Amino acid sequence: MPPEPVCFAAAFAPGLLDPDCRVPQVVTGPNGKAAGKRYDVYRNNVTVSLIDALAAIYPAVQRITGTDFFRAMARFHVRSSPPTSPLLFEYGRGFPDFIAQYEHAQTMPWLADVARIERAWLDAYHARDATPLDPAQLGAVAPERLADLVLIPHPAAQIVRSDYSAVTIFAANRESAPVDRIDASTPEDALITRPGFDVIVRHLPAGGAVFATCLTQGRTLGEAAALALEASADFDIAVNIAGLVEAGAFTSIDFGDA
């Protein structure tokens, strides 16, 4: 193969997300006219469309911060971390961590957790379809076998833990209704599921996040309950297991070899 000449894409790409980069020398307007504003159309298309993509994934964050704040914050992230996949619904996984470190968002320490719930919401939305476990199946299990069973997680099920009232703040800001003052200081853990076609975000009760996380990691019901009790003396296994199954967090029961 003969050596390739300087690649046009390598010359064209760097300035798309870097405003300090000069207009590439390989481009031109008609009849040798200047191409500055012309190249800027591409810079603008790329930057705006990627900021729009983040706004579509994180509508509650945008509602909380206001559009101007959000777009300025998103612009920094888009420029430092452009997408690596052509599937834009996969974009922005690093945005919650970026928000957590963003200088101007430090007065909203719960904002990154709200973003984590929104990211999980979109993952649940696009997750593989699966029929959730029928609660009757669990009800039919002989009591002596309960402790050893393993529950297979639903592809959409996720848990997001927060030291703040992230679930309440998320829920209030995904609606268009006016938001009352929220006390942000109550820790809230979220369970995100999609048993049918609607994504559900629930606030897990005490010990519920440890319990649900253990179960989705393949621990037995007995192990998960013991760890949840260790984490929270208020943990109620009956309430928690019923809540998880009803929300569609699992697809089936695995008894292993027992």
Partner 1 sequence: MTATTGPVRPTPLRFPLPIGGVAGTSFKHEHLGAILEAGRQRGFFEVHAENYMGAGGPPHRALEAIRRYHPLSLHGVCMSIGGPQPLDKAHLARFRGLVARYQPALVSEHLAWSTHATSFFNDLLPLPYTAATLRHVCDHIDQMQEAIRRPILLENPSTYLAFAESTISETDFIRSVAERTGCSLLLDVNNVFVSATNHGFSALDYLADFPLSRVGEIHLAGHDAQSDDDGEPLLIDSHDGPVADAVWKLYEIVIERCGPVPTLIEWDSKIPDWPVLQAEAAAAQAILDRCGITVPAEDRHAA
Which residues of the chain form contacts with partner 1 (CB under 8 A)? 4-5, 7-10, 12-13, 16-17, 26-31, 33-39, 41-42, 45-46, 49-50, 53, 82-89, 124-130, 155, 194, 197
- Whether the CB-CB separation of 129 and 106 falls below 8 Å is answered with no
| Shorter beta-carbon distance to partner 1: residue 54 or 99 | 54
Question: What is the C-alpha to C-alpha distance for residues 98 and 43, in angstroms, rounded to an integer?
Answer: 22
- Which CB atom, from 127 or from 179, has the smaller least distance to partner 1? 127
CA distances to 4, 5, 57, 223 from 8, in Å? 10, 9, 32, 58
CA distance 247 to 188: 17
Distance CA 245, CA 141 (A): 14
Closest to 93 measured CA to CA, from 101, 103, 102, 83: 83
CB 77, min distance to partner 1, A: 14
Tell me how far, at minimum, the Cβ of 27 lies from partner 1, in Å.
Answer: 5
Residue 61 C-beta: closest distance to partner 1, Å = 20
User: Min. distance of Cβ 25 from partner 1 in angstroms?
Assistant: 8
Judged by beta carbon, residue 89 or residue 255, the one nearer partner 1 is 89
Minimum CB distance to partner 1 smaller for 4 or for 68 = 4
